[in-house]
Structures are given as structure tokens and as C-alpha cells.
Structure 1
Amino acid sequence: MSIRVLPDVLISQIAAGEVVERPASALKEMLENSLDAGATEIQVELEQGGIKRIRVSDNGSGIPRDELVLALTRHATSKIASLADLEQVASLGFRGEALASIAAIARVQLVSRGAGDAHAWAIQAEGGRLEASSPAARGQGTTIDIQDLFFNTPARRKFLKTEATEYAHCAETVRRLALAHPQVAFTLAHNGRTQLRLGTESAVARVRHVLGDAFETNAIAVEAAAGPLRVSGWVVRPAAATASRDGQHIFVNGRYVRDKLIVHALKEAYRDVLHHQLNPAYCLFVELPPEAVDVNVHPAKTEIRFRDGRGVHQFLFHAVERMLAAPVTADSGPAAVPAARPAWTPPQQASMPLQVAEAMALYAPLAAHALSGAPPASQAAELGGLDSVRAVATVAQPLPAACEGDVPPLGYALGQLHGVYVLAQNAHGLVLVDMHAAHERVVYEKLKSALDARAVPAQTLLIPVALTVDARDVAEISPHLDALAEIGFELSVSSPTSVAVRSVPWLLKDADPVELTRAVLAEVAEYGVGRLLAERRNELLATLACHGAVRANRRLTLPEMNALLREMEATERAAQCNHGRPTWFQLSLRELDAMFMRGR
């Protein structure tokens, strides 16, 4: 078979297979051209999901008459002229092949009028064959009308889905671009009916209108910068994560992208607070110099490549992780209502009501011991154990309601429900706390901080505890006894099938030492000591924290409950336990009034 040069029409049809996968692909290219032309109003009309017709009208700068033919010619563009332009391209469209590819597989009419033109000009193309331009009527801007997509390539047309599916993809394309450009008004109609109408508005309002009230209610604002690299936008609270990934929107320099590096950075930021296989939702805008990112990786321009991928990864990870790790405030919990005042700060002792100051002075030294922390040196001799703490704590009077300005975010404890939940009152209403989940997070964060500082205090057992284990476990841990001692476990091998536990981490001193050791050995058997203390360190600490946390059906006194609330307010990521489950919920007075129909 001899080598031959392909005709231009066939070349454009082949290129169309890379650029135009479905109607939404053609719509994306036209919308990007409108935005590059400076349009502030864009109207989209679809028929049969875009298969029958796609019509996009804008009020942009328009195309001069003598350039209409070039607009439908392969590799003709006004956006780049040299390799230097390509390396720092800032426009959404720039390859100069989208319109030509679309014209090769559809019936296209292009009508445009520039700012200084007396009237508009129109040009038509069918299957790649261009006709002469002719006068037309319209205001400044451009209208491109695409009909019968893939009419001359039936092999591609048969791969299209149903009308509803193709419309859904087109609508999602409009929403994505609308998110990135709130200064532009968008209108979307399907089969003659308006489906979406967005006026020019603020970024916050655009997110509300496109992503919905649920996203806005559960969103946390993110704003960070490091030199020329900047990120802004919103991420949802971990408790609002779902199994779907449809709510994940990433824009780099205004361009919607699907980038594995960014997705991985965000997944890592959520790793310590996300439940199992749930996926977070987010809408983030990353800005960096155009020359620092290559957008010419794929014809569809949804894949990109960073010059310093590791730096972008670390920047995004730390920016989002820092926001998710923020301590509890009055408006940071699940179902919380917006705070009417600035975030609470601990009041000075002198400004507190006398009864509150006395009560806090009583439970404060007890809290550290009750929550598995080291007791103050002055109390160490008196506090022999948890039972003695309870004996002293029972004489404390319930904390009175403080004046509103002194109420901390989680308020003050009222009581305990079924030995599982702590009920508290704050300035907004009722707070419900899962005491095991909350204490688990507190202990976990303390273990991480202690290990990072290489200062994990150990509690020596009065009588070492011996337990029988598998011989393989003994062989695995024998060379790593010093490494285990660094996390507070002092073990000694007493025989080929038994070990003796001599000390455990101080923070877990009230837990069962046998169960704790068996949990560590189970992790060692699965991952090995080296991997366990390196890449899986947090998973190990989470397991230990679960064993060391206060158990359900254990009765707490009011001082112990209040101590737990104060610890939560001072702990990072306290809104979720180590497994990603919520630790507390807020019920506002408005919600309570609605339940009992007060004021009706």
C-alpha cells in the first residue's frame, strides 16, 4: 500500500475525534471562545441534548469579515503566534482546530459583528466545505449555530448516549464555566425551555446558585498564598462528604481541569478526618504564572502538567489540611448556625462570674487526669487514680449559665444521655457530643503531638502483664523493641511464644494493657514494624486512641464533661473522630422552636 497525503477534510474529521467526543465537547470549545472574546453575556440553546442543535450567542468583541473563513480553518488562531506565546498561554482556547473540526462533522453557521462594523457577516460550512460570507443582522458579538452533529460520521454518532444523558453533560459544562466566571451572565435553554439563568454576581452567590444551598451550608472558605502560587475557594466539612465525586471542581487559572496530582493532594488533606470511602466536595481556584503550567497536554485541555508538581501538591495539601484542622468554633460543627459574634476566646479569670470561676478552678486540674493526661505536679500525690478523681468531682456543683459573652463554643454540660452522649448548652442552643468519638480524637491528637516531639511519656505497670502470642509476632518485634519503646510500649520477650508488657503510653494508662498490646501486635503482623512506625504511623495511633478513649455507658460527672468540651475546643480536627464520624452536632434555638411549633 502506497503512502499518500490525506485530504484536509479527512484530517479535520480525524482531529474532530480528539477534540469533539460528544455535544458537550463542542459546547465547551464555543463557550471558551466566547469567554476569550471578553463576553459578559452568553446564551446557550440546545435541541435533543445538543445532538440536533447547539447555538451559542455572546456579546464579545466579534470577528472581522475577512477573518471569518480563518475562524473555520485548521490551525488558525489569534491567541498565539510563537513558541513563547504557547509556553505562557493565558487564554482558554488557543489550538486553532476546534471550530475547524466541528465544521468538518456538522452543519455550522457563524455570524459575527465587530465593534466598528456597520453590520454583521455570516459564513456557513457543511461537512468541511465553506461557503462565501454574506451580510447578516445582529448586534456586536458572535453567534455560532451547530446542527446535526456527526451527520457525516455515523460511526461516531452511534456512540452517543440518550438525549437526557447528553444534555446532562452539556449542562455540567455550562455550570463548570459559570463557576469560574461569576462576572459573566449565562442562560441555558433546552428544547425551547429555559433551564438555567445566571446573572452577573459575586463568587459566593455563583457557588450558591450552581452548587446549591447544601454545599454553601457545609463549606469552609480556603484562602492561601505562597509567592506567585495562590488558592481560594471552598471545601466541604468532612461530615458532609458523600460517596459521589460529582461535587469536585478544580480550576487552574480559570480553566476546569482533572488533575491526579491535585486530587491526591486534597485526598491526603482529608485522610485524617474522612470516613472510609467517602469523597469530599470542593470548589477551588488555583492561580499561578502561566509559564509554570503546561495546558497543551491534551487536545481537550482538561489535563495539565505542572513545572513543579511536588511544590503545588504540598502547597494545596497544607492549605486545605490547615483549614480542616482548625479548632472548634461556635459555627464550625455539623448543622451549626452562623455565629452572631466573633469566635469565642477564653475569658480572663477576673471577668468571669464568681460561681463560674470557682467551678472552673475545681474541674480544671481534674480534667487533665480524667481525660488521660498527666496530672499537675501539685496534684500528683493526691490523685491516685480515676476513682479518686470521681470522688472529689462529685462534690462539684453544676456549672451555672454564664453570661452570653463568656459562653465557649461548645458551652457547658447539662448532663449525659444513655451513658453515650453529652448534652451541653451554648449561646446558640443545644450541643450533642458523642463522648467516645470526641475523646478518641483528643487522645489521638495528643499521641501524634507527643510522638512528633519524641516525648511520649510512659506509665510503668506495677506488675508486668504477660501474654501468649504467636511465635512469628515475637520474631517480628524482637529486633524493634527500642522503636516500640519510643511510642511508650516497653515489652520484653520472656519466651519464644510470650511477651511481658512493662509500660504503656501514659495517655492510654486507663486502657486494658493486654488489648492494647494485642492491637499493636496485630498491626505489626500485617505491616511490619518499620512500615508501621513510618507510613502507617497515624493508623496505629488511631487504633491505640480508640482503645484509650472513654467507653460508652461510663458515667461522667459534670466537671469531666466540661473538661472534655474544653479539650475538644483546643484540639485540631475535633469535629470528627479518627474514623471520620462526626463528634458533635448543634441544634439551634430556631430549630428547637420549629420542632415544638413555638411562635405559630
Structure 2
Amino acid sequence: MSSIIQLLPDHVANQIAAGEVVQRPASVVKELMENAIDAGATDIKLICKDAGKTLIQVIDNGKGMSVTDARLCFERHATSKIRKAEDLFDLHTKGFRGEALASIAAIAHVELKTKQDQEELGTHIIIEGSKFTQQEPAVLPKGTSFAVKNLFFNIPARRNFLKSDTVELKHIIDEFQKVAMAHANIHFTLYHNGSELFNLPQSNLRQRIVNIFSGKTNEKLVPVKENTEIVTIDGFIGKPEFAKKNRGEQFFFVNDRFIKSGYLHHAILSAYEGLLKEGTQPSYFLYLNVPPHTIDINIHPTKTEIKFDDEQALYAILRSTVKHSLGQFNVAPVLDFDRDATLDTPYDFKGKEATYPTIQIDSTFNPFAEEKKSDAKTSGSNFSFQPRKEAQPHWESLYVGLKDTFESQEMQFESDVVTSSLFTDAEVEQPKTVTYQIHKKYIVSPIKSGMLIIDQQRAHQRVLYEQFLTNITVHQANSQQLLFPLTLYFSGNEMALLLELIPSLENTGFVFDEINSDSLVISGLPVTISESEASIVLEQLVADLQDEIPESSFSQMDSMAKSMAKSLAVKTGTYLTEKEQENLVNNLFGCKENSVSPFQKPTFITLSIEDIDKKFSV
């Protein structure tokens, strides 16, 4: 019987490895930027076209590669970082497995230009699907330039799975920000389709965070610093009042490498216990430095998850450090709850001697004189405080004609009765529809066959959803002008998403005066949104669309209408008057689809008389 197990060809093995390493254009960005950092670069440029599908180019001023290294770096498991297995537990660099460049070259057209500082000429290499098509010396500046073109050109199925340019660009920006935040001492620049999106000069950690997440971020940050034998913690956390509904601004860096850790995230949440509103998430940018031999970073293909030797100790240290910073900067309440700050001695009075109060006496004061005056005023007025009115002469004339007036009014009153007799006695006035609210959650309304039990929150979501969807598509929304324009600040990533939604938002009734790189100036709002709700609605909208931006324009409108309806709908636990209950019921049954909410949950149930009778049958 012949053997059935065979060795895979190199180009097939590289394509399989690419499935782990290169999931989308953002994966290429991450690998190339980390290689540039490992090369000691101080200036890194990232250039993208069509969200990385057409071109991803990373240019650095690092140490470059020799001719041999430039050719060898595209081989599988070729690396300069490790020599033996023990080196995996003493890593100080980003890449180390030697699979990234081989995987990228297997599924794209790659052009490499590199030159070392001491060499006169550099090396120019072109690869198409793992095949070297050209290698020649060239006159180049110091450093390395990697250009990855036509990603997944030989794997059409993988290319078809890529999302829209907006979604893929968002992922590229996410990876760019993670690398840039971990290395504030490097100048990073990002260009997309010829436009500069980010220009981050060398700075400290706080400035780098502010440059990425807009200028208003500075006032939200609380510094965190702790130094122990197990870990050194540095970075910033956000004040509780600036907590957001989404988890977009939460970053852990371990030895300058971005990681995800639900366990450490729980430590942060426990430190914020009692300080956050329900459903909100705190912001944090925390940099942890631990000895390399105490972590294993080789447990995940993308190296975003690592294993710690002593997670419990790290949890306790992180939790207490964050809690201490919140209390130290008066963000969290201190133990002395009864302390009155007004009793503190001002700095201006330090060292001054106390002054004794002086006593002043009014020798002319006579309390009895005042009392006599008041007695004189009140004497003789014990029985009447109002002046007596003079008697009117000919008082009988006041009643002349009064009888005629009464008779005329009586005649008018009888005519009204006659008018009402036009209605037939057979016509009976319809009973008024009565609704009741139960536990500030459900509205009960009687019907002929029994009763309706309506979920007030889901019903209002359905009403608002159809209103917003109609306004967006028909372009007939009304706006209420604000007396003072409202300025809202967002991060660069959030602004990129909002720019896509501006036309749809304007159709719902928003009026924008200015649209800047990190803020929106709003001069008009939809009539259903109050000024205090504007920021809540837009933040919720960004949070809902943050993960996956809809592909088509209609699905984008649909998602936006759902998000705004969810934000503005009356919540469970809200008291409604009889008029509000009646309006909600009438509006619900005026909807095209009134049986389910926009999220496909039932809005009401019907309880028939038979169902009620069964409950009482024994």
C-alpha cells in the first residue's frame, strides 16, 4: 500500500501560515511596523491605498539589512531574534518567529528596498507570490522600505472576505495607534490615499495619548505609577465622569507590547467599583514592565495574549494601584467623609497672628422709646385694621335692572338645553380608554377580547425607530435651533466613523456648523432630542457601530435608526402619565410593524378573557 502522507511544498506551507499571521491588511501593518521598531528606527511612515488592499508601505530610518539578510528574511523560520529554545523566555523585541515576511510574500506582491548606513549601495528585491522576480543593487537612503501590493491577489476567496474600505481602514488605524502608543519616542506618520491622517512627533506618554485621542483627553487623565519587585506600572486612567459606553479606550501594554487580558480588565473595574454609571466603561492606558522570564508571549499567533507566572499578585497590585491613584487625585471619596474643606487655613494666613474681636457700644440706644412708638401706632386698632368705608347714598339704585339680567341669563340657559336635544337619545357616549402602568415597566390596556400588556421601552423603541428611518429616507426631519452652539469632542477614530454618518444625521434633524478633526459644533437638533441627550445619542451611535460598520448605505441607515431609538426610548422604571401612556399606545399601533421592537423582541402580549378564566378555574 502506498504512503498517503507527504511534505507540503514551501509555497503551500507559506499560504497556510499566512492564514494565521495575515487575516486582513491591518495584520500586515502590525508586522511591518514592529519590524521597523526592532530595526531601531526613530521615524516610521505608513502609507496605505484603498484601506491596504492596493498598497501598504512602511518606510523607516532603521539600521537596514545586508544583501544576504534581505534575501534570507523571506524564508520561513528565518529570524535574528532567537538562537535556542530558552531565548523564547528572554525576548526584548517584537517579532521572533520568522513567519511574517514569508507569509506576506506568499500572498502579495512585495517590493523591498533596504540599505545599511556603512554601505554605499542598498538592495532592491521584488517578490510575487513567494517567487523572486528581481534582485539588484540600488542607490537608496539608510533604512528599509517594505511595499506590499495587491494583498491576496492569488487567493480570491480570502480577498472576497475582506470588508469595506471604511471597516478595513478602521482596523489599520487601530493597529497603528497601538504601536504608536507603545513607543512615544518614535515619530509616526500615517497617510491614506494621499491624505495625512496622523502625524505623531516624538513626545512623552501623556502627549502621545492626547495627540491620538484629541485635545480634550488631557483633562480626563489621572496618572498611575507604582514600582514593585513583580511589576512596574506606569500610565493613565480616565476619570469616572468621562466613562463611555464602549470599550474603545482601554489599552494594556506589557513590555511595550499591546495585549488583551480579561483578568486584568476585571482588576480595573473592581478598582472603579461604585464610581461608574451602569453600563459605562472606564478609559485606561497602562504600561506594565515585568521580567521577560515571567511571561510567555508565544501562546497566540498574533501575540496579543500572554501568560503570566503570578497573575493573582499582578491582579492585586494593579487593583490597589488604580484605587490609590483615584483617591490621591480626589477622584474617589476619601475616608474622612465629614471633613469640611472650608475649615482649612488658607495659605495667605499662614504665620499671621490672631486678631481679637472688639466690642462696640451704642450709648444712645433706648429700647423703651421704640416700644412706646409702636404702642401708639397700634392703640385703638384692636377691632379693625381696615378703614371704615363711607355709606353710599341712594343705595337702592345699585339693584336696578338686576332682575332683568337674571331673567335673560335664565332664558339663555334654557336655549342651551334645547340645543342639546338635537342629539338622539339612542346615541351613547363612548367610554374613555383607560390604561394602567405596572411597576413602571408595562402598560395594561383593556380590549374587547381581554387585555393588552405592552412593554413601554420596546414599544417606544419601535415608534422612534420608524420615525427616524422615515426622516432619514424621506429627508423631511424638523430641527430645533440651539441658542448656544454645542461642541462635542471625539477621538480621531470616532470622527472617521462620524464623518461617514454626517449626511444621514443631517437628514434626522442635526445641523452642524463646523466639522473639525476632533470635534463637532452642533447648532440644531432633532425635535425629539434635548440638548443634554445629544452627546449620549452620538456616543451610543459610535459605540454601536464601532465593531462592524454596515456595508450598504441602507443597512447603515437602519443601524443608525436602531441606535438612536435605543438611546432615546423611555427606560424601564420611568413613570408615565395617563396622557403619555395613551400616546404611546396609539403611536405603537400606528406603526407599520407594531408587534416587535427594532431588535426583534415582542412589544406586547394579548391576554384573553378565556386565559383569565382558566387562571380562576379550580
TM-score (norm 1): 0.55
Equivalent residue, structure 2, for 1:22: 24
Equivalent residue, structure 2, for 1:108: 110
Describe the superposition over 1:383-442 as per-residue Cα deviations: whole angstroms up to 9, x where unpaired.
xxxxxxxxxxxxxxxxxxxxxxxxxxxxxxxxxxxxxxxxxxxxxxxxxxxxxxxxxxxx
Q: CA deviation at 1:352?
A: 8.3
**TM-aligned CA distance change 1:344 to 1:87, over 3 Å:** farther
Q: CA deviation at 1:328?
A: 3.3
Match of 1:53 among 38, 55, 67: 55
Equivalent residue, structure 2, for 1:161: 163
Match of 2:201 among 199, 202, 223: 199
Letter in 2 for 1:174: F
Native 8 Å contact 2:255 2:287 kept in 1: yes
Unpaired runs of 5+ residues, structure 2, are: 334-340, 358-618
Equivalent residue, structure 2, for 1:319: 321
Match of 2:271 among 244, 269, 272: 269
Describe the superposition over 1:177-205 as per-residue Cα deviations: whole angstroms up to 9, x where unpaired.
11111111111111111111111122221
Spell out the pairing of 1:508-527 with structure 2 (5 A cutoff). Answer: none
Q: CA deviation at 1:227?
A: 1.4
Spell out the pairing of 1:261-340 with structure 2 (5 A cutoff). Answer: 261-326=263-328, 328=330
3-state SS of 1:152 partner: coil
Q: CA deviation at 1:297?
A: 1.1
Equivalent residue, structure 2, for 1:5: 7
Taking the aligned partners of 2:149 and 2:267, their CA distance within structure 1 comes to 42
Q: CA deviation at 1:228?
A: 4.5
3-state SS of 1:261 partner: helix
Describe the superposition over 1:186-231 as per-residue Cα deviations: whole angstroms up to 9, x where unpaired.
1111111111111112222111101222321111000011114111
Equivalent residue, structure 2, for 1:503: none
Taking the aligned partners of 2:38 and 2:165, their CA distance within structure 1 comes to 29
Letter in 2 for 1:103: A
1:235 matched to 2:237? The reply is: yes
**TM-aligned CA distance change 1:350 to 1:73, over 3 Å:** closer
Taking the aligned partners of 1:147 and 1:60, their CA distance within structure 2 comes to 22
Q: CA deviation at 1:345?
A: 9.8
Q: CA deviation at 1:261?
A: 1.9
Match of 1:347 among 337, 345, 348: 345
Letter in 1 for 2:299: V
Taking the aligned partners of 2:345 and 2:9, their CA distance within structure 1 comes to 80
Native 8 Å contact 2:109 2:128 kept in 1: yes
Query: Which of the two has higher C-alpha Rg?
Result: 2
**TM-aligned CA distance change 1:20 to 1:38, over 3 Å:** same
**TM-aligned CA distance change 1:356 to 1:134, over 3 Å:** farther
1:210 matched to 2:208? The reply is: no
Taking the aligned partners of 2:204 and 2:356, their CA distance within structure 1 comes to 45
Spell out the pairing of 1:117-132 with structure 2 (5 A cutoff). Answer: 117-132=119-134
Match of 1:184 among 178, 183, 186: 186
Q: CA deviation at 1:325?
A: 2.9
Q: Name which structure has the greater RCO, CA cutoff 8 Å, separation 6+.
A: 1
What's the C-alpha RMSD, in Å, of the aligned pairs? 2.4
**TM-aligned CA distance change 1:278 to 1:97, over 3 Å:** same
Q: CA deviation at 1:326?
A: 3.3
Equivalent residue, structure 2, for 1:583: none
Taking the aligned partners of 2:244 and 2:72, their CA distance within structure 1 comes to 47
Equivalent residue, structure 2, for 1:91: 93
**TM-aligned CA distance change 1:108 to 1:270, over 3 Å:** same
Taking the aligned partners of 2:306 and 2:356, their CA distance within structure 1 comes to 58
More displaced, 75-84 or 212-221? 212-221
Equivalent residue, structure 1, for 2:583: none
Describe the superposition over 1:15-38 as per-residue Cα deviations: whole angstroms up to 9, x where unpaired.
111111110011000000000000
Q: CA deviation at 1:271?
A: 2.1
**TM-aligned CA distance change 1:344 to 1:224, over 3 Å:** farther
Describe the superposition over 1:63-109 as per-residue Cα deviations: whole angstroms up to 9, x where unpaired.
11011121111100001111121111110111100010000000001
1:248 matched to 2:246? The reply is: no
Q: CA deviation at 1:353?
A: 9.2
More displaced, 100-109 or 200-209? 200-209
Describe the superposition over 1:141-172 as per-residue Cα deviations: whole angstroms up to 9, x where unpaired.
00000000011111111111111111111122
Letter in 2 for 1:108: V
Identity over aligned pairs, percent: 36
TM-score (norm 2): 0.54
Aligned length: 346
Equivalent residue, structure 1, for 2:226: 224
Letter in 2 for 1:118: E
**TM-aligned CA distance change 1:79 to 1:345, over 3 Å:** farther
**TM-aligned CA distance change 1:213 to 1:125, over 3 Å:** same
3-state SS of 1:246 partner: coil
3-state SS of 1:325 partner: helix
Taking the aligned partners of 1:356 and 1:16, their CA distance within structure 2 comes to 85
Taking the aligned partners of 2:264 and 2:352, their CA distance within structure 1 comes to 47
Native 8 Å contact 2:230 2:314 kept in 1: no
3-state SS of 1:131 partner: strand
Spell out the pairing of 1:460-475 with structure 2 (5 A cutoff). Answer: none
3-state SS of 1:133 partner: strand
Letter in 2 for 1:60: G
Match of 2:145 among 143, 164, 180: 143
Letter in 2 for 1:7: P
Unpaired runs of 5+ residues, structure 1, are: 334-342, 358-600
Q: CA deviation at 1:234?
A: 0.5
Taking the aligned partners of 1:84 and 1:283, their CA distance within structure 2 comes to 31
Q: CA deviation at 1:2?
A: 1.9
**TM-aligned CA distance change 1:290 to 1:350, over 3 Å:** closer
3-state SS of 1:177 partner: helix
Letter in 2 for 1:223: K
Native 8 Å contact 2:260 2:304 kept in 1: yes
**TM-aligned CA distance change 1:4 to 1:209, over 3 Å:** same
